[in-house]
């Protein structure tokens, strides 16, 4: 079992969007308990979006589309679930649910703008 799996917080933890960073990462103000909040970066569990800083213009274009789709989905409060540490310092990994109960990752996957991701090696794409 990975170290982050030992420190899983099942949630839900209510959070309010501060900004969308890219197609799979948000900055939120999370309220883990009454009268307390914390700003944290959250990577969406189970998906990988194209990179905004890719060398290839087609990949950068796809990254902007994924980021914009995520921005249009999240306009207010969300629930963070299955929260754990991420492999990169400074952010957490979580499932995110919209106020209507939909999974943000599932919506983005259905749109075709992101790919499934299990935390392993990412797929490489030739420049199109």
Q: What is the pTM of this model?
A: 0.85
pLDDT: is 65 or 6 the higher one?
65
Whether the CA torsion 117, 101, 113, 59 is positive or negative: it is negative
CATH architecture of the domain formed by 3-114: Beta Barrel (2.40)
pLDDT: is 6 or 18 the higher one?
18
- Above pLDDT 70, what percent of the chain? 89
Q: State yes or no: pLDDT of 3 exceeds 50.
A: no
Taking the domains of the chain in order of start, what are their residue ranges? Answer: 3-114
* Residue matched to tokens 């290839």: 56
C-alpha span between 82 and 35 (Å, rounded):
22
pLDDT-derived band at 128 (thresholds 50, 70, 90) equals low
Q: How many CB atoms lie within 10 A of CB 117?
A: 19
The pLDDT tens digits of the residues spanning 82-115 come to 998 877 667 899 999 999 999 999 999 999 999 9
**pLDDT score, position 6:** 60
């Amino acid at each position: 079992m990975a170290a982050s799996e030992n420190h899983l917080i099942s949630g839900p933890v209510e959070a309010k969007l501060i900004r969308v960073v890219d197609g799979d990462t948000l900055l939120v103000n999370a309220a883990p308990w009454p009268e307390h909040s914390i700003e944290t970066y959250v990577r969406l569990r189970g998906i990988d979006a194209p990179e905004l800083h890719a060398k290839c213009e087609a990949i950068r274009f796809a990254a902007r589309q994924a980021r914009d789709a995520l921005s249009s989905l999240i306009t207010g409060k969300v629930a963070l679930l299955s929260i754990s540490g991420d492999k990169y310092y400074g952010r957490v990994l979580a499932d995110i649910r919209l106020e209507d109960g939909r999974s943000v990752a599932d919506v983005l996957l259905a749109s075709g703008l992101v790919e499934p991701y299990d935390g392993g090696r990412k797929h490489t794409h030739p420049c199109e």
